[in-house]
Amino acid sequence: MRKLVIALGLMTCCFQPPAHAAADVGVGIILGEPTGISFHSWLPGNNVAAQFAAGWRTSNNKEIHVQADYLRYDMQRIPIEGGYLPLYYGVGVRIVDDNDDDTRVGVRIPFGLNYFFKSTPVDVFFELAPVLDLVPDTDFDLNGGIGIRFRFR
């Protein structure tokens, strides 16, 4: 997990935001599954981003939860004044470690809404993500959360 955090941190050094983005990187909190920190960065390309979260599961505080996602944004779907409210969807990976030598790894399919304020470097989001755990056993789960991030360059 430490290597994943370091790799995502180093990758953000060279990201360029799309024209609508108020800032390159967002850091904040997420409440739900997981509850913890949230990180978002625009990737080179047309409305694509990397998202990362780390925290604990509210259903079991012993479990450490780490996720990383590749997201595509539809900036034109919901017109709104005073900011941007895109729908987004993507694919990612989730790792859950319960400190009892039981580590689960799965594939996430996140989708949600993300509101980017036009005049302030803040965004808020709501997300749902079906998860298919593949290791050590095949199982289905559902993640979801709301969050807020402060954006900076």
What is the per-residue pLDDT across 87-98, written as a single tens digit (0 to 9) for each?
Answer: 999 999 999 987
Q: Say if residue 57's pLDDT is above 50.
A: yes
**Gap between the Cα atoms of 128 and 145, Å rounded:** 7
Tell me the CATH number at 56. 2.40.160.20
Whole-number mean pLDDT of the chain?
A: 83
Residue 53 structural domain: 2-152
Q: Say if residue 12's pLDDT is above 70.
A: no
Q: Name 14's Cβ contacts closer than 8 Å, sequence gap at least 6.
A: none
Q: Predicted confidence band at 15 (pLDDT cuts at 50, 70, 90)?
A: very low
**Gap between the Cα atoms of 5 and 32, Å rounded:** 20
Picking from 34, 21, 100, 97, the residue whose alpha carbon sits closest to that of residue 69 is 34
Q: Say if residue 47's pLDDT is above 80.
A: yes
Q: Predicted confidence band at 80 (pLDDT cuts at 50, 70, 90)?
A: confident
**Gap between the Cα atoms of 143 and 129, Å rounded:** 5
**Gap between the Cα atoms of 56 and 61, Å rounded:** 6
- Joined together, the tokens standing for residue 146 give 């709301």
Gyration radius from the chain CA atoms: 15
Q: Say if residue 1's pLDDT is above 50.
A: no
Helix (H, G, I), strand (E, B) or coil at 24: coil
The CA distances from residue 122 to 26, 34, 103, in Å, are 8, 20, 34
pLDDT at 27: 97
The model's pLDDT over 110-152, given as tens digits with 9 standing for 90+, comes to 999 999 988 899 999 999 999 999 988 999 999 999 999 999 8
- Per the structure, the count of domains in the chain is 1
Sign of the torsion angle spanned by Cα atoms 73, 79, 84, 87: negative
